[in-house]
Amino acid sequence: MDKAEAKRRIEELSEELRQHNYRYYQEDAPTVSDYDFDMLLKELEALEKEYPEFADENSPTKRVGGEVTKSFETVKHKYPMLSLSNSYSREELEEFDERVQKLLERSVEYVCELKYDGVAIGITYKDGKIFRALTRGDGSQGDDITTNVKTIRSVPLKLQGDYPEEFEIRGEIFYPLSVFRKLNEDREAAGEDRLANPRNAASGTLKMQDSAVVAERKLDCFLYYVLGEELPYKKHFENMMHAGKWGFKVPNPNKDLIRKCSDLDEVFAFIDQWDQQRSELNFEIDGVVIKVNDYDYQEELGYTAKSPRWAIAYKFKAEQVETRLNKITYQVGRTGAITPVANLEPVLLAGTTVKRASLHNADQIEKLDIREGDLVQVEKGGEIIPKVVGVNLKARPSDSKPTEYIKHCPECETELVRYEGEAQHYCPNSWGCPPQITGKMAHFISRKAMDIDGLGEETITQLFEAGLIKNIADIYELNKEDLLPLERMAEKSVNNLLDGVEASKQIPFPRVLFAIGIRYVGETVAKKLAKHFKSMRALRAASFEELVEVDEIGDKIAEGIISFFNEERNRELVDRLAVLGLQMELDEDANAQQSDILEGKSIVISGVFQNHSRNELKELIEANGGKNVGSLSSKTDYLLAGENMGPAKKKKAEDLGIQMISEADFEKMISA
């Protein structure tokens, strides 16, 4: 390929990928398989590497981030970023409508939209290219977080169609709830505190210095407002719809996410609909925004110091109910963290019956003065577990007594400790406190760790109570004679369990490292450490300084590792696991593993995987005699399905009767 040809191909691929991105993220209607998309992206990456002079700074390959910003620059907004005045009742909306009509001396068309609960962003485009993304800041100046915003897939880097030369578009960046929940699960698995809500989480992520980390986080962005001197229409709704054609993710009127309303009754109907349906959305909203559609009228209405007179937010009441708090109990997690739990009189909230709610920690109980016997307000946010947000003091029983937070572990009686700077109390008896021991073992066998078939959390507790296992290494010394006499342990389940234990010895080193439960070492950190140190031995010998030198390993993680290996019992345990045959080194030749086990099989890969990149999976398929194909057909043998696989693909596989296999199934297949 000569230079001219490379240039042409780079442009062609960039355009094609941009189109696919748009269909995937904005229209939710992809026309190529994920695999084909990846292949195009890889081709572009390779060409850009060979011919860096043609690599566009806004190329679709730039989504992966990589730029690190030490401190974000403060930049003045061209148009101040105002807020909205809030309303909480129909009367207030009626007053708003009356004011508008009086000032304009006529009735007007409104546009109703959802009020997304995320982080406000103003993005400027020049000549069809993303130029700068600023946070709201104090309204007149904000932080330049362009590098991080560029990693959000639904934010176009380059526009299509008849866009104005320069304009600003505003919107809200947020975590889809499914992504937020997974983020918290991962944090919990790494022994970290859960994040309180999706909005704070999004705000924290956007302020991260390493854009490559932001790129992995799957933030999303909805746009709701265009500003500029040369906009195509003089109306908000029409400009928004048009911005969709330039490549922006704007609300879809066919899904009722935005609606033109000719009077207040129609506005109320929109509000009522979303007040009821909001729990079905995969993102948080806290109300509805009502805007005057026509720019001339907007101009006439003007602004107060803080907000436009042509728009108002109607805030939903949080989904909240009042119920009796019967008892406060305390849970002990695998790290020893104590979580107080409110056991409630069962009550219906946002479509589910709630019996328990989180009380967070001692400070929260003290701050709200929450007591057993109180009538409490319970609210549901982005979290699955609802929380207690207030107490009805008027209804407090006369004999009520302030809550005394426990001083000893409810499970093992050990005196609790509270480390500096942490909100949680801890039971320090990590080697003797039953839920901590079983919690550690449950983590060890979990799907993303050692994934031991035939062994679940309940069985772990059963085996622990029977005195057969006291730590994770004991799992590898279980035998048939010990297991058969136990309840629910027929010959078949025993064989299953022992086979599962044996098979787990092949689980690669990064997962073993995750499984042993070092504080703050989650899945991703374990992979990074494994890649850097290559063996448990090297990791164990690493000093604090050597640890923090590794990309993305901070003081907290380094301390977690050092204190883990400082403990003799941990060192002994790891040694035992090594003797028992677990993988303690990175197998860099994993891909060289060859067989003809998949001879004649054609396999489609779809979704995201825990242990392998899609490219590694392709290589593994080929190394084992199989063929990796791009799209499903009646000739496909297996669909290797990861997370986030589209429902359409799943249905197609089912319709064609194609067997779906997980990454774990696949790993077993090729290691058989």
Residues in contact with ligand IVH by the rule CB under 6 A: 82-84, 113, 115-116, 120, 172, 224-225, 289, 308, 311, 313
Question: Measured at the alpha carbon of residue 40, what is the angle toward residues 39 and 42, in degrees to the nearest 5?
Answer: 65
- Closer residue to ligand IVH, CB minimum distance, 116 or 180: 116
**Residue 150 Cβ, how far from ligand IVH at the closest point, in Å?**
20
Within 10 Å of residue 23's Cβ, how many Cβ atoms?
14
**Residue 493 Cβ, how far from ligand IVH at the closest point, in Å?**
53
Which residue has the CB atom at the shortest distance from ligand IVH?
A: 120
- Closer residue to ligand IVH, CB minimum distance, 25 or 314: 314
For tokens 């890649």, the residue is: 531
E strands, 66-106, are 74-76, 86-87
- Closer residue to ligand IVH, CB minimum distance, 311 or 388: 311
**Residue 143 Cβ, how far from ligand IVH at the closest point, in Å?**
15
**Residue 543 Cβ, how far from ligand IVH at the closest point, in Å?**
46
Q: Which of 49, 76, 115, 668 is catalytic?
A: 115
Contact call for residues 344 and 374 (beta carbons, < 8 A): no
Please give the structure tokens belonging to residue 348.
């219906």
What is the pairing mode between strands 602-606 and 638-641? parallel
Residues 526, 515: Cα–Cα separation, whole Å: 9
For tokens 């033109």, the residue is: 260
Residue 342 exposed, middle or buried by CB count within 10 Å (0-12, 13-18, 19+): buried
**Residue 308 Cβ, how far from ligand IVH at the closest point, in Å?**
5
Residues 564, 526: Cα–Cα separation, whole Å: 14
- Closer residue to ligand IVH, CB minimum distance, 311 or 641: 311
**Residue 169 Cβ, how far from ligand IVH at the closest point, in Å?**
11
Residue 288 exposed, middle or buried by CB count within 10 Å (0-12, 13-18, 19+): buried
- Alpha-carbon distances of 181 from 175, 187, 292, 368, 524, rounded to whole Å: 9, 10, 36, 26, 17
Question: Measured at the alpha carbon of residue 132, what is the angle toward residues 46 and 70, in degrees to the nearest 5?
Answer: 80
**Residue 231 Cβ, how far from ligand IVH at the closest point, in Å?**
15
Rg (CA), the chain: 28
Residues 477, 498: Cα–Cα separation, whole Å: 10
**Residue 361 Cβ, how far from ligand IVH at the closest point, in Å?**
30
- Closer residue to ligand IVH, CB minimum distance, 302 or 554: 302
- DSSP helix, strand, coil percent of the chain (3-state; round to 5): 40, 20, 40
Q: Is 115 a catalytic residue?
A: yes
Residues 498, 496: Cα–Cα separation, whole Å: 6
137 HSE (CA, 13 A, CB side): 19
- Closer residue to ligand IVH, CB minimum distance, 283 or 666: 283
Q: How many helices (H) and strands (E) does the chain have?
A: 24, 20
Identify any residues that bridge with 121 across adjacent strands, giving them in sequence order. Answer: 135, 171
- Closer residue to ligand IVH, CB minimum distance, 128 or 171: 171
- Closer residue to ligand IVH, CB minimum distance, 137 or 191: 137
Positions marked catalytic: 115
